[in-house]
Chains A and B, each alone.
Chain A
Amino acid sequence: MTDLPTVLAQTKEDFLDLGDKDKIQLLIEFAEELPELPAEYQDHPELLEKVEECQSPVYIFVDVTDGLVAVHATAPIQAPTTRGFASILVQGLSGLNVEEALGIPDDFPSTLGLNTLISPLRVRGMTGMLWRMKRQIREKTSA
């Protein structure tokens, strides 16, 4: 078992410390913080991968430069849960080295205490997002 990277460990601790109402509020804050896609991706939708596990349209793109990971995602304002999930992963993965990012456990999303509150079906969307991000990292480092 590797330790969770710092940002994700903090996110997990924050969620687990909160009551249900505040968990919802924190996820909304994450949704609001999802950064805009960098301009170069806005003009190239073909670079983005659709996360089929989510019922709202969410697209991700992973960039690996000099061994460091950058993750981008975009989802509609009217899909706050999806945006919140994406934002947690964008903030948690960006800046990690490849080994740290690939070491994140696949079940990280279901350890945030959101399963009862949000439903396992929805949390599965975030698991799909993480899975796809890690797959892209592998593809981009083995090339």
Chain B
Amino acid sequence: MSVPTDSNAKFAEYAHPEAIVSTEWLAANLTNPDVVVVESDEDVLLYEIGHIPGAVKIDWHTDLNDPVLRDYVHGEAFAELLSSKGITRDSTVIIYGDKSNWWAAYALWVFKLFGHADVRLLDGGRDKWIEEGRELTSEQPPLTRSSYPVIERNDAPIRAFLADTLAHIGKPMIDVRSAEEYSGERTHMPAYPEEGALRGGHIPGAASVPWAKAANEDSTFKSRAELEAIYLDGAGLKPGDDVIAYCRIGERSSHTWFVLNYLLGFTGVRNYDGSWTEWGSAVRVPIVKGALPGSL
């Protein structure tokens, strides 16, 4: 790896310190030609009102989703996107975003579907950078087009589909949505729009760990010891477990996927991106209502 790992003491505790950098580290490495900074937000206009100098924007909805199928873009579109942003297959990509990096983690997960080797998250994301009074600009960086190769996605290791998830029932699963979504409570008041799924509840056996439990107030990730208390002691995961995480459309569960995979070192974690908008509308899949995980 040409770009050094952040030697921050908190990160050294994590299973993969090379997957995360601090704001200090990024400030010192902004001009490194091997580093490309990518902003990826829930709010699609944030980049325009101010971003980290030199950062490019990749939007999850408009850039990474296939415009027709409910799927991610394929190799050619991904190659075109990354080439247009000046990213090469060897670039060290640092992704940051709003909302404790929830969408940044999603973008990172998609980069990993394409096997991009060196992608890291900025701990604390956009909020921390701004909180520390660091420089922002609304100027677009001058981009030199690169030539990113066409790589087909390899979904299987980190992405679960409906059938995979159905077969996984009985093994560890984490539902990262809010407690109300997990229990299946709905707002049944008249003239309120229906949610994006026909049924409420959760997948049998899934433990409820809302994604934001992994984040501190300042949007940074919690320490390894705190994360172990949440996911090992609290949710009952054991090292070596195969885990599936899901939420509503797979975005919040990417954050949890990142935590389990890179910070705690689980090797068999998959994100079920169909998530509740698929499961809660699928015919005859089992559902449990209420606050307890339940079983088949």
Contact = CB atoms under 8 A, between A and B. Distances in A.
Given A78-B98, A122-B61, A131 B191 contact: yes
Contact of B191 (A31, A79, A135): A135
Q: How large is the interface on A (under 10, 10 to 19, 20 to 34, 35 or more residues)?
A: 20 to 34
Given A52-B187, A53-B193, A128-B193, A81 B45 contact: yes
Contacts, number: 53
9 contacts: A24-B45, A52-B187, A53-B193, A81-B45, A84-B45, A119-B59, A119-B61, A128-B193, A131-B191
A78 B128 CA distance: 13
B166 interface: no
Interface residues of B, number: 21
Interface of B: 42-46, 48-49, 59, 61-62, 65, 67, 98-99, 126-127, 130, 187, 191-193
B45 A131 contact: no
A56 B191 contact: no
A91 interface: no
Interface class of chain A by DSSP: helix
Interface in A26-83: 27-28, 31, 52-53, 55-56, 78-82
A131 to B, nearest CB: 6
B70 to A, nearest CB: 11
Interface in A73-123: 78-82, 84, 116-119, 121-122
A78 B129 CA distance: 13
Contacts of B65: 119
Contacts of B45: 24, 27-28, 31, 80-81, 84
